[in-house]
Chain A
Amino acid sequence: MKITGKAHRFNPNDDINTDYIISGRYKFKIDDMAELAKHAMEDISPQFASSVRVGDFIVAGTNFGCGSSREQAPRALKAAGVSVVLAKSFARIFYRSSFNIGLPLIECDTDWIKDGENLVIDLDGGTVTSADSGSSVKVVPIPSTMQILLNDGGLIPHIKKHGGFLLE
C-alpha cells in the first residue's frame, strides 16, 4: 500500500511533547476531537491547524510524543487530518496510543525531509520516498502487534472482534 502526503516539520524537531501536540488548556475542557484539532501543535506552530490538509504527514526527530499520557494528542492529530507521523523515534505511551486509535507511526531517518516536501510511503516495500527530489530511505518495519491493531481499526475494535488480545 502506498500513501502520499505533504510533510509538516516543526521547531523544535526533537522531544515534541504531548503538551505541544495539544495543550492542557484546551484538552481538559474540550471533549470534541474536531474542535480540539483546531488547536493541534498551537504552542510551537500557530499556523499548523489552518494549513494542514487531510492526508498530510507530520515529520519529526527523536522522542516524538513524550510527556503526558493524554490520548487527545494522537486523536487531535488524526482529527486534524494527519494520516501518518514519521519520526526517528517515539515515546512509549504515544506510540501505543496512536496505534490503539488507528494512527500509524513510521520510524525512519527523517533528517533529509524538508518542510512541505511531498512524500510517498510504501508500506509493503518499507520505504519513504520524496516525490520532489527522488530521495528515499528504508523504514523500520511496523511491529506485527501494531500491524494487527491497525488492521482491526484500533485496540477497542480488536477486543470487540476477538473478545481479548490476539496479538501474535
Chain B
Amino acid sequence: MGQTIAEKVLTAHSGKDCHAGDLTVASVDFCMSQDGTSTMMIRELENLGFVAPKTSKGMTVVIDHNSPCPSVDVAKIHSKIREFAKTNSIPVLDVGEGVCHQVVPESGKVLPGDLVVGADSHTCTYGALNACSTGLGSADVAAAAFTGKLWFKVPQSIAITVEGGFGNGVSAKDLVLSVIGSVRADGATYRSIEFKGEAIDALDMDGRMTVANMAVEMGAKFCPFGFDKKTKEWFASIGQSVPGGVASDVSASFEKALYFDASELVPKVAKPHGVDNVCNVSELSGVEIQQVFLGTCTNGRLGDLRAAAELLKGRHVKKGLRFIVAPASRLIYLKAMDAGIVSELLKSGALFVTPGCGPCVGTHAGIPSDGENVLSTANRNFKGRMGNNKGVSIYLASPLTAAATALNGTITDPREVI
C-alpha cells in the first residue's frame, strides 16, 4: 500500500513500516521551545538528569514571546532560560532575533523529510519546508530532547487540492482562512494535511508558511507541503543545498479529499472570538478599527511587509489609528530596510516593534484598551488573546486587508484601495 508524507517520514524515523493508526516510537531530528514554555521543559529535563539533547540536530530555545522583557517576573524566567542554555550548551536565539517559527527555519535546522517537535503549537509551520513538524507540551519536548525519540500515533491524512490562480488582492491568508472556515476548528484534529494543486505550487515559501502555520487552527498535527523547485531555491537562499524531498505515493490512502478554487477566493476575515468564524471582508465593511497589527509567525515575513508597503505607498493610515508592525526576524527587518519597505511603512504612519511575537499573545507591545477593535494578521482571535478581555474584538485577516484597513480606519476590502 502507498504511503502519505506523514507515513513515509514516520517510517523513515522509526525503522518500521508505518501506516495511519499505528503507534510508533520515532527518532526526532530537532526540537525547540520558546520563553513561554521553556521553564516547565527545563524542570523536567533537570528532573531527568539531562546532559545534552539526543535529537540528531540538537535543540534551540527562542526568546520571542516577551521580547524584550516587559517585567521583573518575566526577567527571572528569561534569566533561568539563559542559565540553562549556557550550562548545557544549548543555542539561544535571544530577544530581537525574531519569532521562533521564522528564526528556526532561517537557522537551517529543519530540512525536507525531517521529524521536528516544538513546545509551541505553531511548530506545524515547518511543514512548508516538506517536514513533519508538530507542536507539543513541554513534557513531550523534554522527553524528545532527553531520549532523542518520541511516541507518535501515525495520523490519517487529508488531501486539500487548490486549483486556479489567486485574484488581485487575494493571498495565502485568505486561502487558509477559507479552509478553516470550511473545515472548522476541530475538523482536522490529529490529522496530517497535504495541500497540493496549481495554486499551492504558485505560492512562495512565505505563503506556504502562512498556510502551514494555521493548520493547527483546524487541530492538525502535521501539514507537510510537497518538495519542488521553490523549496530547493528557498533552501539555497539560506545556504543549504537540498537534493530532494518526500512525496506521497499516488496510491497513498487519504481519509478525505477537499477541493478549493483559488480563482473564486475573495479577501476573508475571521471574526471574534473564533478562528473558524470566517466571512468575506466585504461583509464587515465599515467596522471601525482602532489598532492594526502586521506581523507574527503567520504574516510577519518579507512578502507580507512588502504587500502592505506597496498598498500604503504615498498614503497615510487613518489619523488616530495605531498601526503596529513586527518583522518576523532581524533578517527580514534588514531585508525590508534594504528594499525601502521599512521607510515606506514608517512614512505611512506605521510604528515598528522588536522582531518577535509582538502584541499577538497579550503580554506587551500593543495591548488594546477596553472596548477596542483590532485587526491583526496573527492566527488567533480568542477573547482576551491580546491581553485585555474587556470588550476587545480581534479580527484576523491578510497583510493586504490589514493595510487597507489601516488606511481607512474601518475594515476594508483591499481590492477597493489597491
State the A residues within 8 Å of B (CB): 15, 17, 19-20, 23-25, 27-31, 42-44, 62-63, 66-72, 74-75, 89, 91-93, 96-97, 100-101, 145, 154-156, 159-160, 164-165, 167-168
User: Cα distance A53–B384 when bound, in Å?
Assistant: 25
State the B residues within 8 Å of A (CB): 23, 25, 35-37, 39-40, 44, 47-48, 65-66, 71, 73-74, 76-77, 118-121, 123, 135-140, 142-143, 146-147, 149-151, 185-186, 189-190, 216, 219, 221, 274, 361-363, 380, 382-385, 387, 389
**Pairwise interchain contact A24-B137, C-beta atoms closer than 8 A:** no
User: How far apart are B328's CB and chain A's nearest CB, in angstroms?
Assistant: 18
Contacts of B123 in A (CB 8 A): 69
Contacts of B387 in A (CB 8 A): 24-25
**Pairwise interchain contact A89-B137, C-beta atoms closer than 8 A:** no
**Pairwise interchain contact A168-B382, C-beta atoms closer than 8 A:** no
* Contact status of A93 and B139, CB under 8 A, knowing A15-B186, A67-B380, A165-B147: no
User: How far apart are A79's CB and chain B's nearest CB, in angstroms?
Assistant: 12
User: How far apart are A19's CB and chain B's nearest CB, in angstroms?
Assistant: 4
Contacts of B146 in A (CB 8 A): 159
Contacts of A15 in B (CB 8 A): 185-186, 274
User: Cα distance A69–B36 when bound, in Å?
Assistant: 10
**Pairwise interchain contact B151-A20, C-beta atoms closer than 8 A:** no
User: Cα distance A19–B384 when bound, in Å?
Assistant: 8
Q: A70-B37, A92-B190 are in contact. List 11 more A-B contacts (CB 8 A).
A: A24-B36, A31-B76, A43-B389, A66-B219, A68-B361, A69-B37, A70-B36, A75-B40, A93-B135, A145-B151, A160-B48
| 17 cross-chain CB contacts under 8 A | A19-B380, A19-B382, A24-B361, A44-B383, A66-B219, A69-B136, A70-B137, A71-B138, A91-B186, A92-B221, A100-B140, A156-B139, A156-B142, A159-B48, A160-B47, A164-B25, A165-B150
User: How far apart are A109's CB and chain B's nearest CB, in angstroms?
Assistant: 16
User: How far apart are B322's CB and chain A's nearest CB, in angstroms?
Assistant: 19
* Contact status of A97 and B384, CB under 8 A, knowing A23-B362, A165-B25: no
* Highest count of chain B CB atoms <10 Å: which of A28, A62, A75, A101: A28
User: How far apart are B119's CB and chain A's nearest CB, in angstroms?
Assistant: 6
User: How far apart are A148's CB and chain B's nearest CB, in angstroms?
Assistant: 10
* Highest count of chain B CB atoms <10 Å: which of A15, A145, A168: A15
* Contact status of A165 and B151, CB under 8 A, knowing A24-B363, A29-B74, A93-B135: yes
Contacts of B40 in A (CB 8 A): 71-72, 75
**Pairwise interchain contact B186-A69, C-beta atoms closer than 8 A:** no
User: Cα distance A156–B147 when bound, in Å?
Assistant: 11
6 nearest A-B pairs in the assembled complex, by CB-CB distance: A97-B137, A63-B186, A71-B137, A43-B384, A29-B73, A100-B139
Q: Looking at chain A's contact residues, is the secondary structure mostly helix, strand, loop, or mixed?
A: loop
* Highest count of chain A CB atoms <10 Å: which of B118, B135, B136: B136
**Pairwise interchain contact A31-B48, C-beta atoms closer than 8 A:** no
**Pairwise interchain contact A24-B362, C-beta atoms closer than 8 A:** yes
Query: Which residue in chain A gives the minimum CB-CB distance to B185?
Result: A15
* Contact status of A96 and B137, CB under 8 A, knowing A24-B362, A29-B73, A91-B219: yes
Q: Which of A31, A71, A89 contacts B139 (CB 8 A)?
A: A71
Contacts of B136 in A (CB 8 A): 69, 93, 96-97
Contacts of B190 in A (CB 8 A): 92
Query: Which residue in chain B gives the minimum CB-CB distance to A72?
Result: B40
User: Cα distance A28–B387 when bound, in Å?
Assistant: 11
* Highest count of chain A CB atoms <10 Å: which of B74, B77, B149, B219: B219
User: How far apart are B255's CB and chain A's nearest CB, in angstroms?
Assistant: 15
**Pairwise interchain contact B35-A28, C-beta atoms closer than 8 A:** yes
**Pairwise interchain contact A92-B219, C-beta atoms closer than 8 A:** yes
Query: Which residue in chain A gives the minimum CB-CB distance to B41?
Result: A71
**Pairwise interchain contact B135-A159, C-beta atoms closer than 8 A:** no
Query: Which residue in chain B gives the minimum CB-CB distance to A16?
Result: B382
Contacts of A154 in B (CB 8 A): 139
**Pairwise interchain contact B363-A28, C-beta atoms closer than 8 A:** yes
User: How far apart are B104's CB and chain A's nearest CB, in angstroms?
Assistant: 15
User: Cα distance A91–B119 when bound, in Å?
Assistant: 15
User: How far apart are A163's CB and chain B's nearest CB, in angstroms?
Assistant: 9
User: Cα distance A168–B383 when bound, in Å?
Assistant: 40
**Pairwise interchain contact A167-B151, C-beta atoms closer than 8 A:** yes
User: Cα distance A44–B384 when bound, in Å?
Assistant: 9
**Pairwise interchain contact A25-B185, C-beta atoms closer than 8 A:** no
User: Cα distance A20–B36 when bound, in Å?
Assistant: 16
**Pairwise interchain contact B186-A89, C-beta atoms closer than 8 A:** yes
Query: Which residue in chain A gives the minimum CB-CB distance to B148?
Result: A164
**Pairwise interchain contact A68-B121, C-beta atoms closer than 8 A:** yes
Contacts of A72 in B (CB 8 A): 40
User: How far apart are B145's CB and chain A's nearest CB, in angstroms?
Assistant: 11
**Pairwise interchain contact A19-B385, C-beta atoms closer than 8 A:** yes
User: How far apart are B146's CB and chain A's nearest CB, in angstroms?
Assistant: 7
* Highest count of chain B CB atoms <10 Å: which of A25, A44, A69, A160: A69
User: How far apart are B343's CB and chain A's nearest CB, in angstroms?
Assistant: 32
* Contact status of A66 and B185, CB under 8 A, knowing A96-B137, A156-B142: yes
Contacts of B363 in A (CB 8 A): 24-25, 28-29
User: Cα distance A66–B121 when bound, in Å?
Assistant: 10
**Pairwise interchain contact A155-B143, C-beta atoms closer than 8 A:** yes
